[in-house]
Structure 1
Amino acid sequence: MTLLEQLQQPLAKALPVSSLQGSYRLAARDFVVEETLGFEPEGQGEHLYLWIEKTGTNTVFVAQELARKAGLHPAAVSYSGLKDRHAVTRQWFCLHLPGKADPGSEQLQGDGWQVLRSARHPRKLKRGTHRSNHFTLRLELDAYNTSTADWLQERWQSICTQGVPNYFGPQRFGLQGNNLQRGLEWLLADPPQKPPRRQDKSLWLSAVRSALFNRWLSQCIEQGQWLNPLPGSCFNLQGTRSYFAGESESQQQAQQQTLQQRLQQGDLHPAGPLAGRGKLQSCGEAALAEAAFQENWKPLWQALEAQGLQLEYRPLRMLPTETQLQWQAPWLTLDFTLPSGCFATSLLRELLEARDAMQVDYAKVSGISAPES
């Protein structure tokens, strides 16, 4: 089995496999994403924030078009998060305009996107700044019966209470998983290949690192350690990017009950490593398990280190908030909010066997595949 095939093995699920099947993203309006910054632009400063709605186009393209239309260098345009192409999305962009007037509203419009609002702010909009994303998804189920409504409500309640594995979704790996494949080919090439373009390099490194994290998370689920972490594991504080290292088994006994209560309440989430330079932050049994995983994937881990990536920790669980489920056969509509960096598609896979109508070949998307039809 090749390295690519190992990384693309099916990922474990936290809940029993659902017998329901359905399709999402049948049209762009069936997949709506709205970004929440967590703060309001102050109304003054050298940065112009633009609240933009786009349909059927990707974030990078809109950023390039904004730079072109405003006569700016591409580096003068920024955004917080990449949003789905095959969707209706609303998100913030930022133009750096020191000493310049705001471009006219007619100037900043394009096919498939429009500026809904603008405001000045003293600071640049950086990647990962936004707090969360709200999703409204509409799915068509293949088959259903009189018990479908009750089953959906029960499964949805489990998801909202327990949370779901915080896998990176198929979007992270590119169309048909191409970013993952190209990243592996470039990182492990012998002799070394010429570095790709900066944008491609970033996408490829992110895909490879994300695939490794998914394998760690899947292993934790298979070994029953997803929500029952080993002594010495790291934990993430809900609603923040902060994490702390747990204590070894001898130290943790007195705090075990408190930790479990906080996990059940959703105040804490177990956290797992994102490959990069630096010392593993866990201790005790958890450190041994992480070190064994690191050793198992040593060539790939070292290749990512050589590219300058730093070790980080990511929550193993995501908890949806502001949740709502509506069922009107054959249509299922879901509303929920997820922290930035979390994927709605990873939530869907715990609810039912969901097919992305816009994805041509599921078998090459890093373990998150659709059922056979």
Structure 2
Amino acid sequence: MSRGDFSSEDVNRSNRVVSHSSLPSELYDQPLSFAYGKPSARAQIRTHDADFQVVEDLGYEPSGEGEHYFLWVEKEGLNTEFVAEDIARRANVQRKSVSYAGMKDRHAITRQWFSVHLPGKTELTEALFEDASYQVLSRSRHLKKLHTGSLHGNHFKLVLREFQGDRGEFEQRLEQVRNDGFPNYFGEQRFGFNGGNLELAQAMLLGEKRVRNRHKRGLYLSAMRSWLFNWVLHARVNDQCWNKPVLGDLLSLDGSGSNFPYLSPQESDDVEGRVQQGVIHPTGPLWGEPSYHPLFKAGRLEADCLKPFESLMLALESFGLSVSRRSLRAIPRDMAWRWLDDDVVELSFYLPKGSYATSLMRELF
């Protein structure tokens, strides 16, 4: 997400499909649907890096012993990969010895953990980072390395400036998002600059481009799987069932990776109540070799909206990826806001891992 004026059109433009012969032409410029209607408010975001703050939550603290050195880092105006490479250089280790749980925004002030594989008695002293362009706030050892995705979530604090719109309507939307959540779309970051990773993913999957770099290959596969998920979620939003169970759905327990099927109409009262309470959520596919599918009405809905992309789905399966499920809905925790001035509002919230602040924000601006 770039600095400057923030509106729904900006986010939608990034989430559109790039043109390719494998996709129906009517989908090229199809924006993703809104849960609560297209918002009318506008605001400036990231006027300063300090207007967008992120604090990572691993869900645990380093144990204090082990062969992996954990660094709690605050960065501003830097991407996560740059910091990882710089840590590897200063620690005199290979880049693969440094890991992190998730990428964080560049144009922001962010705090996150990095781990460095340092067996033996080697220490990373404070002096090693005295002239670094980021701050190492604390250091500790741990028994295991950080793996991608091994976090609980992130705390966000945003300052939105030059607000234009009806404050009453805006606060009503804030209440809706706080109470009922928002569509758990993958954000535009997932698809590369101007959706370029999607174009490269299609070329790779259809045999038009060979990608030898393993990291890039993974990025492209993730981009395509994410777009297919977004398209299913888009269809569910249109049908007003993104936050409601449909018979045959695979449902996920909040905060857990486990899924279970909703197979019997006799369960409807119990299932609908638990979904309304935010205990369980409907899911959509991250495509790969199918081991299970939604059934009945949910299965038909999913199959119908994915039918135009069968060639891409088969290609994803050929890469040996296993299908998994992702919640269609995200519910922010501890969401609060306050007006710092007549046209300046501060917004804070906590999102589970894998959910995007940009996807929450698109429901507001």
State whether TM-score is above 0.5. yes
Match of 1:187 in 2: 205
> Matched residue of 1:116: which SS?
strand
Distance (Å, rounded) in 2 between the aligned partners of 1:107 and 1:178: 37
Match of 1:213 in 2: 229
1:262 and 2:278 aligned: no
Match of 1:231 in 2: 247
1:177 and 2:190 aligned: no
Distance (Å, rounded) in 2 between the aligned partners of 1:203 and 1:224: 31
Q: Which amino acid aligns with 1:274?
A: L
Distance (Å, rounded) in 2 between the aligned partners of 1:230 and 1:102: 54
Match of 1:166 in 2: 184
> Matched residue of 1:115: which SS?
strand
- 1:274/1:113 Cα in 2 relative to 1: closer, same or farther (>3 Å)? same
Unmatched tracts of structure 2, length 5 or more: 1-18
Match of 1:359 in 2: none
1:86 and 2:107 aligned: yes
- Deviation for aligned residue 1:142: 4.7
Q: Which amino acid aligns with 1:202?
A: G
Cα RMSD after superposing both structures: 1.7
Q: Deviations over 1:334-373 (max 9, x none)?
A: 0000001000000001112xxxxxxxxxxxxxxxxxxxxx
1:329 and 2:342 aligned: yes
Which of the numbers 152, 171, 181 marks the counterpart of 1:131? 152
Match of 1:54 in 2: 75
1:1-373 mapped onto 2 (5 Å cutoff): 2=20, 3=23, 6=27, 9-108=30-129, 111-144=132-165, 148-190=166-208, 193-247=209-263, 252-327=264-339, 328-352=341-365
- Deviation for aligned residue 1:188: 1.9
Distance (Å, rounded) in 2 between the aligned partners of 1:159 and 1:343: 14
Instruction: State the number of aligned residues.
Output: 343
Question: Higher relative CO (CA 8 A, sep ≥ 6), structure 1 or 2?
Answer: 1
Which range is displaced more, 129-138 or 278-287? Answer: 278-287
Distance (Å, rounded) in 1 between the aligned partners of 2:188 and 2:353: 16
Unmatched tracts of structure 1, length 5 or more: 353-373
Distance (Å, rounded) in 1 between the aligned partners of 2:291 and 2:343: 51
Q: Deviations over 1:320-339 (max 9, x none)?
A: 00111112221121000000
Q: Which amino acid aligns with 1:161?
A: N
Match of 1:357 in 2: none
Contact 1:7 1:211 in 2 (8 A): no
TM-score (norm 1): 0.87
- Deviation for aligned residue 1:303: 1.6
Q: Which amino acid aligns with 2:362?
A: R
Which range is displaced more, 176-185 or 119-128? Answer: 176-185
Contact 2:163 2:344 in 1 (8 A): no
Q: Which amino acid aligns with 1:333?
A: E
Distance (Å, rounded) in 2 between the aligned partners of 1:184 and 1:69: 38
> Matched residue of 2:61: which SS?
coil
Q: Deviations over 1:86-137 (max 9, x none)?
A: 1111001000111141122221356431111111111111111110100011
Distance (Å, rounded) in 1 between the aligned partners of 2:72 and 2:24: 39
Contact 2:232 2:306 in 1 (8 A): no
> Matched residue of 1:332: which SS?
strand
Contact 1:7 1:212 in 2 (8 A): no
- 1:36/1:8 Cα in 2 relative to 1: closer, same or farther (>3 Å)? farther
Q: Which amino acid aligns with 2:198?
A: L
